[in-house]
Structure 1
Amino acid sequence: MSKTILQNINSPEDLRKLAESELPTLARELRDFIIDIVSVKEGHLGASLGVIELTIALHYVFNTPDDLLVWDVGHQAYGHKILTGRKDNFDTNRQWGGISGFPKRSESIYDTFGVGHSSTAISAALGMAIASNLNGDGAKNHIAVVGDASIASGMAFEGLNHAGVTDANLLVILNDNAIGIDPSVGALKNYLTAVKQGKNPRENNMIKSLNFDYSGPIDGHDIFAVIKELKRLKSIKGPKFLHIITTKGKGLEQAEKDQVKYHAPGKFDKLTGEIILKSEENLPPKFQDVFGLTLLELAKKNEKIVGITPAMPSGSSLKFMMDAFPKRAFDVGIAEQHAVTLAAGMATQGMIVYCNIYSTFLQRAYDQVIHDVALQNLPVIFCLDRAGLVGEDGATHHGVFDLAYLRCIPNLIIYSPMNEIGLRNILYTAQLGLNHPIAIRYPRGRGVIVDWKRPFEKIAIGKGRLLKEGKKIAILSNGFIGNNVIPALAGIVNPEDFSHYDFAFVKPLDEELLHAIFKKYETIITLEDGVAKGGFGSAITEFAAFHNYTKRIQILGIPDEFIEHGTIDQLQRFSKIDSKNLQIIFENCQNY
């Protein structure tokens, strides 16, 4: 198939020179282009394939970038990036030094808002629309494209509620495909399904009741119908809502049939769609599976155990428990605040609640962690998946702030396992009754121990442990990043100078052990895979200051900047917490 149309599109201005009759061909070419690149370079696939016609129509009808287009999340935005001047470097997507996998204001004037997390587009676009009115530019268009999974979030409803009483020139487009990363859930999803099936009369339309001009649902893959409706809506002022029906993964048969797997499938054959599997024989497990399988094992023995996740049952591996005990494991949708307070409510009634939320997403429920859980000292068990650097998803997804933002909360225990056995045992220990909430943070990806399913052992809360004894310098590491210390020490001259301690508990700290360390060693080095300011190392320096210790302390961790996207190895090297950089730092410490 000739790809001459797409080859000549370097901006929406080029796109708008085309005849409408040429756009279906462009849509095919754009899908093929994305499939060609993502099949080799990896990335998010299904969401962008599902909105190809909508993407073309939006840039064709509206005068972007003067008209402001906001994508909710960024999984939908690959076609947008390609049509807005990033076609020639799209093969660098999500790679070190390349373009971001999500819309990013500093990357393009067409990326009007950074959208790594969900449910923000309506509020952001409404803010832009109100500002345009205040600036005397009320004719400008403001468009928010929201997925049906995202619109169920509380923040999306807050935006709709406000927009409905304004004269803002705002168009909300609901991309309704019944799936986010996992299938959409909840009563709103059921309502939208009924609307699509014609079972809800128009006069019972909840969007209309919020004072929006509602239209749809229409076929989101009929590009002529989409363009016709966008042109009509463009001439209508005030808040508008367009409901379109799309298929996630459209254009690749396998991606349409298995939408969960093809959300981000890794490498695959672009012709057959077959995923290129990596051998997993004799490999350590993924931490998420250690969590999911261990929780299932515990839940079989204790009927009080329940699990909660906000829209990540597959990613967190809570799916194992959901399949076995569907009445005791809950996907609450993209609603982190609700997830935390729901867990708190269950805990008041004696349930043992494992609330699994990605570290970066728990930031969205910080108030609830403090007021609804910690203030009431409810023993909710927070399982923070994807803690630390997460790789190609980049700055919006790195779980590097949790140690700093959780450490200041009273009553909260914080534990970072160094390996899979540590995670397994703390999950076991937590359900024995801690009388306090606990945050268990663990990384994305595989661990280090193949034989991890060992008999449970109770962990002593707040205790550190000596891994290697030395003479002059003490290395205090927190969590999985401590595994980088071992090869670093193996490569230096006089490794006997170094002791290595695993301080899995950031709160409470093992103060008895710390007193012994500060009395014995000349230099203390702390290591964490969180931000160096305010985290584990800061806790150690606070301890030293409070007790008037004046030993030299060096804090190693994530620098005071937002870390971009790349492989975890590349990002650790950038942050100087990989084993090679640690070896250099340790050798320099020997020369103090």
Structure 2
Amino acid sequence: MSASPLLPEPRLRRVVEAAELRDLSEDELIGLASEIREFLVDHVSRTGGHLGPNLGVVELTIALHRVFNSPRDALVFDTGHQTYVHKMLTGRSERFGSLRQQGGLSGYPFRAESVHDLVENSHASTALSYADGLAKAFALRGEHDRTVVAVVGDGALTGGMSWEALNNISSARNRPLVIVLNDNGRSYSATVGGLPYHLCRLRESSDNRLHDYTLKSRRNIFEDLGLAYLGPVDGHDIGDLEHSLRRARALDRPVVVHAVTVKGKGYPPAEQDPTDRLHAVGVIDPATGRPPAASKSSWTSVFTDELLALGARRADVVCLTAAMIGPTGLAPFAKAYPSRVFDVGIAEQHAVTSAAGLALGGMHPVIAVYATFLNRAFDQVLMDVALHGLPVTFVLDRAGVTGPDGPSHHGMWDLSVLRAVPGLRVAAPRDPTRLRTLLAEALAVEDRPTVLRFPKGAAGPDVPVVQDFNGIDLLHTPNSRDVLLVSVGACADDGVRAAESLQARGIGVTVADPRWINPVSTELVGLAAEHRLVVCVEDNVRIGGTASGLAQAVTDARLGTPVHALGLPCDFLPHGSRTDLLSQHNLDASGIADTITELWTGGSCEHCSAGNTHGFGNQHSARKSPGRHRPG
């Protein structure tokens, strides 16, 4: 596929706003779809992003914008990573050079970008609930000329919220709502469960001629719920799609339009790859769909290798995930032990309670999910696992700042949320060796749940232990114990480099890695008592994180040592590189050193007790960087 220039080809350049689509002929629409695909491959291969899902919805998105009048009609896309075409058709094509880069175009719907982006839903299975509420609001306000359209994939329909919403939507048969089922048979990988079997039967039973298809031609689950049903329709035939969508709108009731699409359509590397490797990509060669060079060993791959080794020794280890066998590193385990891996679909709540059942039955489940998605199953972690003291290990990939996927995907709340769970133990490995060790230790715990969290990306070199302090790894030991720097997980390397630079400034910093960060150990409190100031650095929100737990433990021990939380603000951070975002919040070596210097020499400590000005080391000569430093 040849590369397109920075500005799109003529047809795409003409379509600055969606309304202009209605002036294009059938041939021009076919040409436009081809140009959009070429544009997507060219730009996403340079910036990274979600490629396969967007290539699959080109004609569908064109048809939606020709039939419905956004934003007057409400278009809600489930799992919004398939909205690139929507963005292109609503005036944002020229911004794709900055896709997912800091200050640039978001990879998901983003309300600040456009009035056409109604909701910022990048967690799956939410669109139908949004749509249900919008339809009710329009009815209550007397806005009967507005149509609500929810685009939901078959993968998202594996989530429980989708069925909770369908149960409610179907109860109001006089309330118009169009549900477009984008059926490509996949989420990250093949859709699991009984639903894809049912959809497959509907596809096979139809002659695929929409105009001859009636609501009574085959009984299906949607009709049984009380919804109207149209389809299946070819999701790459704009004419058939438009006919179906106009018919659905005219029914003036809840209706499902079943559109069959091909993920990665029009791009051979995506269409022909069975692993869904091109669902989401980094920088790739557009000709082959492959990265330009082999990636370094990642945190995920280290976890994969160690899990395989542990699985070989322990037949009781089983794994669960929520539609992410590949991204969470479980694919090799599933290949080696197919009967011991369960992909439950996009259903984190079910995954956790199913794991509880497995544990009750004598197994040791490992649940591998992204840190941001465990938020969706907090009640199950609390009441179904922890309350029963069950040995379930949660492996949280993409913990902390994740980078270009933005606010919904940063894993920066898990430590705060999980600290409230009685008995639960949390480990944060600082390097590959500690990941292997801590995973084995977690699987050895049989009377309570455990958590292992690690960030996205390449795993750096090991950070060596200088001294063992009653089970706490000391990574840097100065001559004078002025400041205790408690580093959480992957923050360790920056913490050591900060301590080394502070030694030249005359500030002695002990760097400690507790490894197990929750609950706070008595040994860590004892170490804090030997220092005049404690700074805890973590890529989690400050509120309720590791520093909060340590500060409480220090207070309970009646120590006067102040504890400063150096973490992320309680805010929704934008998309951008992990390195840049950590630096902006003083979570790199330079920022850590500047923060400690300012605290030690008398700067305002806004986020430790009472916002004191400590001035611990006014006798020391130190550089200050007030312009760069933002406490916390």
Give your verdict on TM over 0.5.
yes
Q: Which residue of structure 2 aligns with residue 328 of structure 1? A: 340
Deviates more, 1:211-220 or 1:537-546: 537-546
Give the drift of 1:514: 1.1
2:475 to 445, 460, 467: 467
Q: Which residue of structure 2 aligns with residue 176 of structure 1? A: 183
Q: Which residue of structure 1 aligns with residue 458 of structure 2? A: 446
1:206 to 196, 221, 228: 221
Q: Once the two structures are superposed, what CA deviation does each residue of 1:377-413 show, in whole Å capped at 9, x if it has no partner?
A: 1111111111111111110001000000000110211
2:270 to 255, 259, 262: 255
Q: Which residue of structure 2 aligns with residue 513 of structure 1? A: 524
Q: Distance in 2 between matches of 1:516 and 1:291?
A: 30
2:314 to 295, 298, 302: 302
1:267 to 271, 277, 283: 283
Give the drift of 1:528: 0.5
The answer (yes or no) to whether the contact 1:463–1:505 under 8 Å persists in 2 is no
Q: For 2:13, give the aligned amino acid.
A: Q
Give the drift of 1:267: 2.3
1:524 to 527, 534, 545: 534
Q: Distance in 1 between matches of 2:57 and 2:68?
A: 16
Q: Secondary structure at the match of 1:214?
A: strand
Q: Which residue of structure 2 aligns with residue 480 of structure 1? A: 490
Q: Which residue of structure 2 aligns with residue 116 of structure 1? A: 122
Q: Secondary structure at the match of 1:327?
A: helix
Q: Which residue of structure 2 aligns with residue 573 of structure 1? A: 583
Q: Structure 1 residues 451 and 544, CA, compared in 2 at 3 Å: closer, same or farther?
A: closer
Give the drift of 1:248: 0.6
Aligned pair 1:588/2:598, yes or no? yes
Give the drift of 1:276: 3.2
The answer (yes or no) to whether the contact 2:123–2:408 under 8 Å persists in 1 is yes
1:63 to 66, 69, 79: 69
Q: Distance in 2 between matches of 1:31 and 1:123?
A: 31
Q: For 2:179, give the aligned amino acid.
A: V
Give the drift of 1:334: 0.7
Q: Which residue of structure 2 aligns with residue 150 of structure 1? A: 156
Q: Which residue of structure 2 aligns with residue 455 of structure 1? A: none
Give the drift of 1:202: 4.3
Q: Distance in 2 between matches of 1:139 and 1:410?
A: 51
The answer (yes or no) to whether the contact 1:126–1:168 under 8 Å persists in 2 is no
Give the drift of 1:21: 4.0
Q: Once the two structures are superposed, what CA deviation does each residue of 1:306-328 show, in whole Å capped at 9, x if it has no partner?
A: 11111111111111110011001
Unaligned runs of at least 5 residues, structure 1:
453-459
Q: Distance in 2 between matches of 1:269 and 1:444?
A: 22
Q: Structure 1 residues 467 and 121, CA, compared in 2 at 3 Å: closer, same or farther?
A: same
Give the drift of 1:138: 2.5
Q: Distance in 2 between matches of 1:273 and 1:72?
A: 29
Q: Using structure 1 for the length normalisation, give the TM-score.
A: 0.94
2:543 to 520, 529, 533: 533
Q: For 1:509, give the aligned amino acid.
A: V
Q: Which residue of structure 2 aligns with residue 26 of structure 1? A: 32
Deviates more, 1:16-25 or 1:402-411: 16-25
The answer (yes or no) to whether the contact 1:316–1:356 under 8 Å persists in 2 is yes
Q: Distance in 2 between matches of 1:557 and 1:509?
A: 17
Q: Distance in 2 between matches of 1:495 and 1:434?
A: 46
Q: Distance in 1 between matches of 2:269 and 2:445?
A: 46
Q: Over aligned residue pairs, what C-alpha RMSD do you find?
A: 2.1
Q: Distance in 2 between matches of 1:299 and 1:105?
A: 45
2:18 to 3, 8, 12: 12
Q: Residues 386-425 of structure 1 correspond to what in structure 2 (within 5 A)?
A: 386-425=398-437
Q: Distance in 1 between matches of 2:462 and 2:58?
A: 42
Q: Which residue of structure 1 aligns with residue 200 of structure 2? A: 193
Aligned pair 1:340/2:346, yes or no? no
Q: Distance in 2 between matches of 1:463 and 1:543?
A: 18
Q: Structure 1 residues 510 and 433, CA, compared in 2 at 3 Å: closer, same or farther?
A: closer
Aligned pair 1:365/2:383, yes or no? no
Q: Distance in 1 between matches of 2:425 and 2:204?
A: 49
- Of all paired residues, the percent bearing the same amino acid is 37
Q: For 1:512, give the aligned amino acid.
A: E
Give the drift of 1:199: 8.1
1:500 to 488, 506, 511: 511
1:544 to 537, 544, 554: 554
Q: Distance in 1 between matches of 2:185 and 2:506?
A: 57
Q: For 2:339, give the aligned amino acid.
A: K
Q: Which residue of structure 1 aligns with residue 210 of structure 2? A: none
Q: Distance in 2 between matches of 1:207 and 1:339?
A: 25
The answer (yes or no) to whether the contact 1:266–1:275 under 8 Å persists in 2 is no
Q: Once the two structures are superposed, what CA deviation does each residue of 1:217-237 show, in whole Å capped at 9, x if it has no partner?
A: 111001111111111112111
Give the drift of 1:450: 7.5
Aligned pair 1:234/2:249, yes or no? yes
The answer (yes or no) to whether the contact 2:390–2:449 under 8 Å persists in 1 is yes
Q: Secondary structure at the match of 2:367?
A: strand
Q: Which residue of structure 2 aligns with residue 80 of structure 1? A: 86
Q: For 1:587, give the aligned amino acid.
A: T
Deviates more, 1:316-325 or 1:179-188: 179-188
The answer (yes or no) to whether the contact 1:474–1:524 under 8 Å persists in 2 is yes
Aligned pairs, how many?
580
Q: Using structure 2 for the length normalisation, give the TM-score.
A: 0.88
Deviates more, 1:496-505 or 1:108-117: 496-505
Give the drift of 1:115: 1.1
Q: For 2:226, give the aligned amino acid.
A: N
Q: For 2:223, give the aligned amino acid.
A: K
The answer (yes or no) to whether the contact 1:407–1:506 under 8 Å persists in 2 is no
Q: Distance in 1 between matches of 2:155 and 2:398?
A: 21
Q: Distance in 2 between matches of 1:495 and 1:247?
A: 63
Q: For 2:511, give the aligned amino acid.
A: H
